[in-house]
């Protein structure tokens, strides 16, 4: 699973590398929320785009939706934990983020959600948030190759070489996560 996330983050990093234009920090702030009870502790730090940024309400709502979904899941875990085990320890739910880009064309950041629900260790979930500020569309792993070519004005040969290298490097790692007997030489 770690290898899959490494591959995903590598592709995400390549996206950032190829899409770098004049990066300006504008119209962005951070919002912090905390909640502390006898059974859990919640700390949320999230980006907040100002209304002057195109599609700010849509992007902020997307970020809030991710956090709300994860928080609701966590609170269900807390409820089950306190009912079944008496809530002997405080369970944490932490959200942080890392800024990558905000300019006329792109908003990009990475949300990190950490949850401890008992056991040996907690777990971390990563949510890349990438938006085209010209169209308001989310940039996903499926649309990334086309977007790189469009936004960076790279010719088709360079884009094809990039995709070939990314595919060659990521296929064995992805296949090893899915099926250890898969012949990656034929894929």
Residues 55-92: pLDDT tens digits? 999 999 999 999 999 999 999 999 988 887 776 788 99
Q: Is residue 11 helix, strand or coil? A: helix
Whether residue 139 contacts residue 154, with contact meaning beta carbons closer than 8 Å, is answered with: no
Residue 156 has pLDDT above 70, yes or no: no
Whether residue 39 contacts residue 86, with contact meaning beta carbons closer than 8 Å, is answered with: no
Q: What pLDDT does residue 154 have?
A: 46
Dihedral, CA of residue 106, residue 48, residue 46 and residue 58, to nearest 10: -60
Q: In this structure, which topology does domain 2-178 adopt according to CATH?
A: Heat Shock Protein 90 (3.30.565)
Q: What pLDDT does residue 161 have?
A: 64
% of residues, the chain, pLDDT over 90: 40
Give the model confidence (pLDDT) of 96-136 as tens digits.
999 988 888 888 899 999 999 877 889 999 999 999 888 99
DSSP characters for 88-150?
A: -SPEEEEEEEEEEEESSSEEEEEEEEEE--SSS--EEEEEEEEEETTT-PBP-TTTHHHHHHH
User: DSSP character for 50?
Assistant: -
């Amino acid at each position: 699973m770690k290898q899959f996330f490494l591959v995903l983050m590598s592709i995400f990093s390549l996206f950032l590398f190829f899409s770098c234009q004049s990066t300006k920090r504008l119209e962005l702030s951070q919002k912090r929320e905390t909640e502390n009870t006898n059974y859990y502790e919640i700390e949320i730090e999230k980006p907040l785009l100002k209304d002057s940024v195109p599609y700010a309400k849509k992007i902020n709502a997307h970020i809030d939706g991710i956090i709300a979904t994860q928080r609701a899941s966590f609170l269900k875990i807390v409820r089950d934990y306190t009912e079944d085990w008496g809530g002997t320890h405080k369970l944490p739910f932490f959200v942080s983020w890392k800024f990558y880009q905000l300019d006329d064309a792109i908003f990009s950041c990475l949300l990190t959600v950490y949850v401890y629900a008992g056991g040996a260790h907690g777990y971390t979930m990563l949510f890349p948030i990438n938006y085209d500020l010209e169209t308001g569309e989310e940039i996903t792993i499926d649309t990334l190759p086309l977007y790189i070519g469009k936004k960076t004005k790279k010719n088709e040969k360079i884009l094809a070489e990039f995709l070939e290298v990314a595919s060659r490097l990521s296929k064995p790692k992805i296949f090893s996560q899915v099926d250890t007997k898969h012949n990656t030489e034929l894929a």
